[in-house]
Amino acid sequence: MDENCIFCKIIKKEIPGSIVYENDYVCAFKDLHPVAPVHILVVPKKHIVSLEDVSEENLEYVAKIQLAFREIAKITGVSQNGYRVICNCGEDGGQEVKHLHYHFLAGKKLGAKIVHD
């Protein structure tokens, strides 16, 4: 964990983050500035900076995120209607927070174009 990282602080519950789902590997909490009726950030409970830092060593954390999406869909009641997952990576990808995170968006018919500005 990185003590200066805002998402690590949310994971450790040092600051309030309205967590909607968590397990040993994954934490999911509401985005502070939602762009859809359901906008949840899904993060590994390990300080991985971005997709560029995924490795065999931390792969378990990232793999568990893939399973968490279904759980989050169930919890938010959107399994049937569907959802979109986005991961911004690095400068050109528009990544602002340097802790790997996936945007889970749902609750309306999302436009054909992306999405998170």
Which residues are tagged catalytic? 101
**Residue with tokens 């990544």, as numbered in its chain:** 95
Min CB(33)–ligand 5GP separation in Å: 4
Residue 9's nearest CA partner among 34, 1, 64, 41 is: 1
Plot region of 94 (φ>0 → left; ψ -120 to 50 → alpha; else → beta)? left
Contacts of ligand 5GP in 53-72 (CB under 6 A): none
H-run or E-run covering 90 = helix 90-93
Residue 104's nearest CA partner among 25, 21, 14 is: 21
Partner from ligand 5GP, Zn ion, none contacting 56, C-beta within 5 to 8 A by type? none
Q: Which stretch binds ligand 5GP (CB under 6 A): 27-35, 46-54, 56-64, 105-113?
A: 27-35
Q: Which stretch binds ligand 5GP (CB under 6 A): 24-32, 48-56, 65-73, 105-113?
A: 24-32
Q: What is the dihedral of CA 78, 117, 11, 44, to 10 degrees?
A: 70
User: What is the contact mask toward ligand 5GP in residues 70 to 109, using x (rule: CB under 6 A)?
Assistant: ------------------x-----xxxx------------
Cβ distance to ligand 5GP smaller for residue 57 or 98: 98
Residue type present at position 100: L
Interacting residue ranges for Zn ion, rule: CB under 5 A: 2, 5, 7-8, 47, 99
